[in-house]
Amino acid sequence: MSIPDTIAAASRALREGSLTAADLLDGVLERAQMTEAQLHAYLNIDHDGARVAAEAADADLAAGNDRGPLHGIPIALKDNLCTRGMETTCASQILAGWIPPYDATVVSRLREAGAVIVGKTNLDEFAMGSSTENSAYGPSFNPWDITRVPGGSSGGSAAAVAAGSALGALGSDTGGSIRQPAALTGTVGVKPTYGTVSRYGLIAFASSLDQIGPITRTVEDAALLLEAIWGHDPKDSTSYAGEYPQVRRSLDAGVDGLRIGVVKELSGEGYELAVEQAVAAMVEGLARQGAEIVEVSLPSFEIALSAYYLIAPAEASSNLARFDGVRYGLRVDGETTEEMMARTRGQGFGPEVTRRILLGTYALSAGYYDAFYGQAQRVRAAIRADLARVYAQVDALVSPTSPTVAFPAGARLDDPLAMYLSDICTIPSNLAGDPAMSVPIGLDQLGLPIGMQVMAPSLGEEVMFRVAAEVERLAGFDARPEIPVVAG
């Protein structure tokens, strides 16, 4: 059946009584049925659990127990979020078949908000990658062109939302893993301020950088989903316990009087012309709406990527040490514990994960720590200092989300460094802990989506959503991908 394709519209329809949560679930499952063979957005659809949840949501709503905007809404979860009783693999062989005995905090919050969990979406193994090709269970593809990647590592979540096989999804963003796939699939993706969304139950890639966030069709939907999942969690020591921004309230405020910085370092060589032109046009649009546009320079951004590719692997090398064949997941036997562990890890991790574990182990090891990991932390401090200086002059920053549109599957698989460069615009916000989001602003000449990134200082989500909502209005982006139906 045909259903509304935004959370806000579906939420209204549910309350008007024009459809039920069960209808919404049918609608997204029908889309999945039509598109999964081409896209492979999901690793696992929980037909039975979702059905039970949808019926419970309908009963609840009928009984007058309205749980809010996500009540009855079908949501997909990146498969690095622990779901009690539902297989969680991180798209890795090493966790094949693992069923967590607990729910991540964001999952509990979604269940309490009445959301219907449709299933678990594909990702680059352990969220390491920018194309969702590093999945042990096969790649996902882009709904706008199924020969291209959907971006990554939350590519499955982005593809599901773009294809309509979920109304919203959660991803995780360590160096751009929500924003870059959102840009490549024409969806909205938000990386909130570090510490505002609990990481409890998110299988860690790089703990000081990881944040969970929403991927949706619209800026308003992103606000609804974000408000459902964030908030202080005593189970996460790094969780923010103070006052939270009011994002929904700021959506219609416009940009008149805001000072918006355009980051000089995030343009030029390596940036596609269509991307640069679309961003420039949007900046002009914002100026017409009354924003004061300032070109700003953040020299430390030039070495942010280098710092990221030391810090993230270093943390990952330690975070992923627990996958050792002892307590859960894969075991490849050996004569001794040491041999068993080394074989399990050698065979259980895919090449990108292995590469990053080696890289991070090296960066932390005796004799190299100061020159690599230690120095990367100083770069991180320099980035924060640069941003503090710039945010004294502007309210928000804009840039392309990704230097390029979706690239062909396989194009960067054999060149890790080229793949890493996909994240050049998104990484600084992770290193700083600041919020950033991607909003679709148009299509290139091949019909592939282009995203604009809006960045703000920590806890600056109100201004970030104000700018994003204006960008969305100006772009008037309402294109939908046409996914070829494969016979069978």
Partner 1 sequence: MPVDIDIAHVARLARLELTPEEMETYRSQLGVILEHAARVQALEGEPEVGSVHGLGIEGVFRDDEVAASLDRDEVLAAAPESRDGFFVVPPALEQ
Partner 2 sequence: MSWEAVIGIETHVELSTRSKMFCGCAVDFGAEPNTNICPVCLGLPGALPVPNRKAIEGIVAIGLALNCEITERSVFHRKNYFYADLPKNYQVSQFDVPVCRDGYLEIELDGETRRIGIERAHMEEDTGKSTHVGDGGRIHSASETLLDFNRSGVPLVEIVSRPDIRSAAEARAYAQELRAIVAELGVSDARLEEGSIRFDANISIRPAGSDTLGTKVEIKNMNSFRSLERAVDYEIRRQIAAVEAGQQIVQETRHWNEEAGETQSMRTKEGSSDYRYFADPDLVPLVVPPSWVEEIRASLPELPEARRKRYATLGLHPKAAAMLSSSARTIRHLFDETVAAGAPALAAFNWLTGEVTAWMRRTDTEPAELTGERLAALIALVDEGVVSATAAKEVLEGVLAGEGEPRQVAEARDLVQVSDRGALEGAVRRVLDADPDAVERLRSGEEKVIGFLVGQVMRETGGKADPRLVNELIREAVGSDG
Q: Could you list the active site residues? A: 78, 153, 177
Whether the Cβ atoms of residue 295 and residue 261 lie closer than 8 Å to each other: yes
Give whichever of 183 and 312 is closer to partner 1, judged by the CB atom.
Answer: 312
Query: Could you tell me the CA-to-CA distances from 334 to 96, 172, 174, 402 in Å, in that order?
Result: 19, 35, 34, 44
- Dihedral pair phi/psi, residue 261, rounded to 5°: -95, 140
- Dihedral pair phi/psi, residue 475, rounded to 5°: -70, -30
User: Looking at 153-161, 232-240, 291-299, 430-438, which segment touches partner 2 (CB under 8 A)?
Assistant: 232-240
User: Looking at 19-27, 32-40, 162-170, 229-237, which segment touches partner 2 (CB under 8 A)?
Assistant: 229-237
Partner from partner 1, partner 2, none contacting 385, C-beta within 5 to 8 A by type:
partner 1
State which amino acid sits at residue 177.
S
State which amino acid sits at residue 82.
C
Give whichever of 289 and 361 is closer to partner 2, judged by the CB atom.
Answer: 361
Smallest gap from Cβ 349 to partner 2, in A, equals: 14
Per rule CB under 8 A, is residue 98 in the interface with partner 2? Answer: yes
Per rule CB under 8 A, is residue 82 in the interface with partner 2? Answer: yes
Smallest gap from Cβ 186 to partner 1, in A, equals: 30
Partner from partner 2, partner 1, none contacting 401, C-beta within 5 to 8 A by type:
none
Using CA atoms, how far apart are residues 29 and 207, in angstroms rounded to an integer?
A: 34
Whether the Cβ atoms of residue 279 and residue 399 lie closer than 8 Å to each other: yes
Q: Which two tokens stand for residue 142?
A: 């882009």
Per rule CB under 8 A, is residue 326 in the interface with partner 2? Answer: yes
Binds partner 2 (CB under 8 A): choice among 276, 328, 384, 411: 328
Total residues interacting with partner 2, rule: CB under 8 A:
44
Distance, first Cα to last Cα, the chain: 20
Whether the Cβ atoms of residue 260 and residue 394 lie closer than 8 Å to each other: yes
Per rule CB under 8 A, is residue 387 in the interface with partner 2? Answer: no
Partner from partner 2, partner 1, none contacting 50, C-beta within 5 to 8 A by type:
none
- Dihedral pair phi/psi, residue 142, rounded to 5°: -85, 125
Buried b (16+ CB within 10 A) or exposed e, 68-95: ebbbbbbbbbbbbbbbeebbbbbbbbbb
Per rule CB under 8 A, is residue 369 in the interface with partner 2? Answer: yes
Using CA atoms, how far apart are residues 163 and 36, in angstroms rounded to an integer?
A: 9
Smallest gap from Cβ 67 to partner 2, in A, equals: 25
Give whichever of 15 and 389 is closer to partner 1, judged by the CB atom.
Answer: 389
Partner from partner 2, partner 1, none contacting 178, C-beta within 5 to 8 A by type:
none
Query: What's the number of CA atoms in the CB half-sphere (13 Å) around residue 220?
Result: 12
Q: Which residue has the tokens 């064949």?
A: 325
Binds partner 2 (CB under 8 A): choice among 156, 201, 400, 428: 201
Binds partner 2 (CB under 8 A): choice among 232, 365, 381, 485: 365
Partner from partner 1, partner 2, none contacting 185, C-beta within 5 to 8 A by type:
none
Residue 118: exposed, middle, or buried by beta-carbon count in 10 A (0-12, 13-18, 19+)? Answer: buried
Per rule CB under 8 A, is residue 379 in the interface with partner 2? Answer: no
Q: Which two tokens stand for residue 213?
A: 């966030």
Whether the Cβ atoms of residue 186 and residue 440 lie closer than 8 Å to each other: yes
Give whichever of 78 and 148 is closer to partner 2, judged by the CB atom.
Answer: 78
Give whichever of 169 and 341 is closer to partner 2, judged by the CB atom.
Answer: 341
Partner from partner 2, partner 1, none contacting 202, C-beta within 5 to 8 A by type:
partner 2
Partner from partner 1, partner 2, none contacting 303, C-beta within 5 to 8 A by type:
partner 1
- Give the single-character DSSP code of 32: H
Smallest gap from Cβ 130 to partner 1, in A, equals: 14
Per rule CB under 8 A, is residue 370 in the interface with partner 2? Answer: no
Residue 13: exposed, middle, or buried by beta-carbon count in 10 A (0-12, 13-18, 19+)? Answer: middle
Q: Which two tokens stand for residue 356?
A: 């990053």
Task: Name the site residues for partner 2 (rule: CB under 8 A).
Answer: 81-82, 88, 90, 95, 98, 100-102, 104, 199-204, 206-208, 234-238, 314-315, 317-318, 321-324, 326-328, 337-338, 341, 361, 364-366, 369, 373
